[in-house]
Structure 1
Amino acid sequence: MPESPEVQALVDDLGARLTGREISDVDVVEFRVEKTRGRPPSSLVGERVRGASRRGKHVDIGVGDTQHLVVSLGRHGWARYRVEGGDVPPTDDPAGVAPPTLIAFTLDDGEVLEFTDAGDWVSLGCWVVDDPTDVPAIAKLGPDPVDPGFSRADFDRAMVGRRKQVKAVLQEQESLAGIGNAYSDEILHVAKLSPVGHAAALTPDELDRLFDSTVGVVVHATDARRGVPIDGLKPAKIAAMRVHGRTGEACPVCGDTIRDFSFASTTAQYCPTCQTHGELLPLKSQ
C-alpha cells in the first residue's frame, strides 16, 4: 500500500511535471474508479493543471481555477507516464506483468498519465470536487506526522488512553494520517514495542519512544524518497525496510529472526527479541 513518504514523492513529481499543462483527453477504463458520477473526470478536459499536493495517502491535483482531482491509490494503486500510442513502460513486478490502467489522462503534448491498480479488486478511486474535504476520507483525516507543525499534543490525542492495539492506532487515518502496514511495522521496531500491545497500556517512556519513532521514521523516509523516479519508489521503499517484508531474515539490531504475525486482513512483521520479550505472536491462519 502506498504510504505518505512515497505518495509525497509522487505528488512532488506530478506537480513538477504537470503544472501548467492542459488535459486534452480522459479515458476511464474501469468505471468503478469514478466516485463523483455527476462530475466525472472527463469534465476536466480542456483545463490546465495548477499543482499537486498530498493529503494523507491521497493525491490532490489542482485543475482549472478551483477544481481538485483527488485520487485514492487504495491498496495497490500507483501512477505511470506513457507516450500516447507508445508501449507500457517496464514493470518492477518480479513476474513481469504490468498492472492494468484504470484511468488515463492525456496531456497537451501527447504524454499520458495513467493510474493503475495491481490488486484483485478495484481499490483506486477518483473524485472531482471543489474542496478536497468533500471527499469523506480526507474530511476525517487526523494530523500528519510529516507536517512540520505536528506536535506531541497531536500525537497524544491520537494515542493516549486508547483501548486499541498500537499498530491499529498508527494505521487509523482518522488518528494519524499517512501511515500504513509497512511504516507502522518500522515505527514499532524502532520504538521496541509490541504491535499488539494496547495504547492505553503504554508507559510514559514508551510513549516518548513511540512519538520519536513515529516522527523520525516517516520524516526520514520522506526525505529519502525525494527525487526518486516514480517507477523506482516501490523498490526504494522495499530496500529501506528493517523488518517489514523481511520474514526469516536477521533483525538488523539484535540478529534474531524476523517473524510474521496476523494483523487484520494482512500479515505484518516484528522482531521477538526487540519487541515482544521473545514471545511469538500468532501466525496468519492458512
Structure 2
Amino acid sequence: MPELPEVQAIADFVDGRAAGLPIRRVDVASLAVLKTADPPYTALAGRTIESVTRIGKYLVMTTAGDDPGPIHLIIHLSRAGWLRWSDNLSPAPPRPGGKGPIALRVHCGLPGEGFDVTEAGTQKRLAVWIVRDPSEVERIKTLGPDVLSLSRDELAELLKTSGSRIKTVLTDQRILSGVGNAYSDEILHTAKLSPFATSKTMTHEQVDALYSAIGEVLRDAIGRLEGQQVARLKGEKRSGLRVHARTGLPCPVCGDTVREVSFTDRSFQYCPNCQTGGKVLADRRMSRLLK
C-alpha cells in the first residue's frame, strides 16, 4: 500500500508535470471507483490543474475553471492502486468494465500527456472523489493529525489518551494519518519497541524513541524517493526496508531472524532481539491488534 512517503513522491512528481496544464478529458473505466456524483467527473474537462498535493495518504488534485471556487479530484490508492504517468496515452478511452487494471484516465496538456490510475488484483478498494471541498470526503474529515506535523509533546498526549497497542496507534488513520503497515514496522524497529506495547503505558524514554524514529524513518524515505520516476517508487521503497516483508532474513542491526505475525490477509514483521527482549510473539494475540 502506498504510504505517506510514496504518496508525497507521487504528488510531487505529478505536480511537477501537470500543474498549469488544462484537462482535456477524463475517462472512467470503472464507475465503482467513483464515490461522488456531484460535480460529475465530466466537469473536470476544460479546467486547469493548479496543484497536486497530499492529505494523509490521499492524493489531492486541485483544479480551477471559469466558475468560482476549485474542484478537487481526490484519489485513495488503497492497497493495490497506483498512478502511471505517460507522454503517450492512447486517445481511445479504456473499455468500461474491462478486466484491465485501469480505473481512471486523465488526459491533460498536449495530446498523449496524462496519467492512468490503476489497481491490481481482485480486491477493488481504489476510491476517487470529485468535490468542491476535501472535507466533503468523510474519510478525510475524520483523519487524525498528519504524523509528521506532531511535536513530541503532542505525540505524548495522543499516546496517553489512546490506550491502544502502539501498532494500532500508528496505523489507524483516525488517530494518526499517513503511516500504514510497512512504515509502522520500520518505525517500531528503529525505536526498538514491541508492536504490542500499550501506548498509554509508554515511558518518557520510549516516547522520545518513537518520536525520533517517526521523523527518521519517514524523512529518510521521502528523501530517497524525491525526484524518482513514479514507476521506480515501489522498488525504491522495498530497498529501504529493514524488517517489513523480510521474514526469515537476518535483522540488519543485530543479525537475529526477522519474525512475522500474520492474520487474515496481512502480516507484520519485527526483530525479537531488537524489539521484544528476545520473545517471539504469538499469532493468537493478533485478534486484539489491528482492525
Aligned equivalents of 2:269 and 2:135: distance in 1? 34
Q: Which amino acid letter does the alignment assign opposite residue 103 of structure 2?
A: L
Match of 2:90 among 71, 85, 90: 85
Partner of 1:89: none
Residue in 2 that maps onto 1:101 = 102
From the superposition, tell whether residues 179 and 99 of structure 1 become closer, same or farther in structure 2 (CA, over 3 Å): farther
- Residue 191 of structure 1, CA deviation: 0.6
Provide the C-alpha distance between the structure 1 equivalents of 2:258 and 2:73, rounded to a whole number of angstroms: 40
Per-residue Cα deviation, 1:73-110 (whole angstroms, up to 9, x for no partner):
11111100231228xxxxxxxxxxx9711010112312
Secondary structure (helix, strand or coil) at the match of 1:174 reads coil
Superposed structure 1 runs of 4+ greater than 6 Å apart: none
Residue 263 of structure 1, CA deviation: 5.2
Structure 2 gaps of 5+ residues are 92-98, 287-291
Provide the rounded CA distance (Å) in 2 between the counterparts of 1:136 and 1:30: 21
Alignment check: 8 A CA contact 2:21 2:48 kept: yes
1:144 corresponding residue in structure 2: 146
Q: Of the candidates 98, 117, 126, which is equivalent to residue 119 of structure 2? A: 117
* Residues 1:167 and 2:167 are matched in the alignment: yes
- Residues 17-39 of structure 1: CA distance to partner in whole angstroms, max 9, x if unpaired? 00111111111101111111232
- 1:236 is the counterpart of 2:236: yes
CA contact (8 A) 1:23 1:47 kept: yes
Do the aligned partners of 2:185 and 2:244 also contact (CA within 8 Å) in 1?
Answer: yes
CA apart distance, 1:250: 0.4
Query: What one-letter code is carried by the residue in structure 1 that aligns with 2:12?
Result: D
2:9 is matched by which residue type in structure 1? A
Question: Is contact 2:38-2:131 (8 Å) kept?
Answer: no
Q: In the aligned structure 1, how far is the partner of 2:204 from the partner of 2:100?
A: 45
Query: In structure 1, what is the equivalent of residue 26 of structure 2?
Result: 26
Inter-partner Cα distance in structure 2 for 1:264 and 1:237: 24
Percent of aligned positions that are identical: 38
Which blocks of at least 5 consecutive residues in structure 1 are unaligned? Answer: 87-97
1:197-216 matches, cutoff 5 A: 197-216=197-216
SS in 1 for 2:154: helix
Partner secondary structure for residue 169 of structure 2: helix
Give, in whole Å, the separation in 2 of the partners of 1:55 and 1:106.
23
Match status 1:67 vs 2:68 = no
1:282 CA drift (Å): 2.4
Is 1:262 the counterpart of 2:262? The answer is yes
Aligned to 2:134: 132
Q: Closer, same or farther in 2 for the Cα pair 1:168/1:263, shift >3 Å?
A: farther
2:258–2:269: 8 Å Cα contact kept in structure 1?
A: yes
SS in 2 for 1:128: strand
TM-score norm. by structure 2 comes to 0.88
> Hey, what's the Cα distance between the residues in 2 that align with 1:99 and 1:242?
33
> Number of residues paired by the alignment?
273
Equivalent residues in 2 for 1:45-56 (5 A)?
45-56=45-56
- Between the aligned partners of 2:100 and 2:205, the Cα distance in structure 1 is 44
Residue 94 of structure 2: aligned partner: none
Deviates more, 1:237-246 or 1:107-116: 107-116
Aligned to 1:183: 183
CA deviation map 1:215-236 (0-9, x unaligned): 2211221122110110000000
Which range moved further: 128-137 or 226-235?
Answer: 128-137
State the shift of 1:146 in Å.
Answer: 2.9
Supply the distance in 2 between the matched residues of 1:136 and 1:253 (Cα, whole angstroms).
41
The answer to which of 158-167 and 100-109 deviates more is: 158-167
Aligned to 2:41: 41
Cα deviation, residue 264, structure 1:
6.8
The Cα offsets for residues 247-286 of structure 1, whole Å up to 9 and x where unpaired, read as 111001110000111257410100011111111112489x
Distance 1:252 1:28 in 2: 44
Taking the aligned partners of 1:264 and 1:55, their CA distance within structure 2 comes to: 28
Asked whether the 8 Å contact 1:41–1:126 carries over to 2, the reply is no
Q: Write the letter of the residue equivalent to 1:33.
A: V
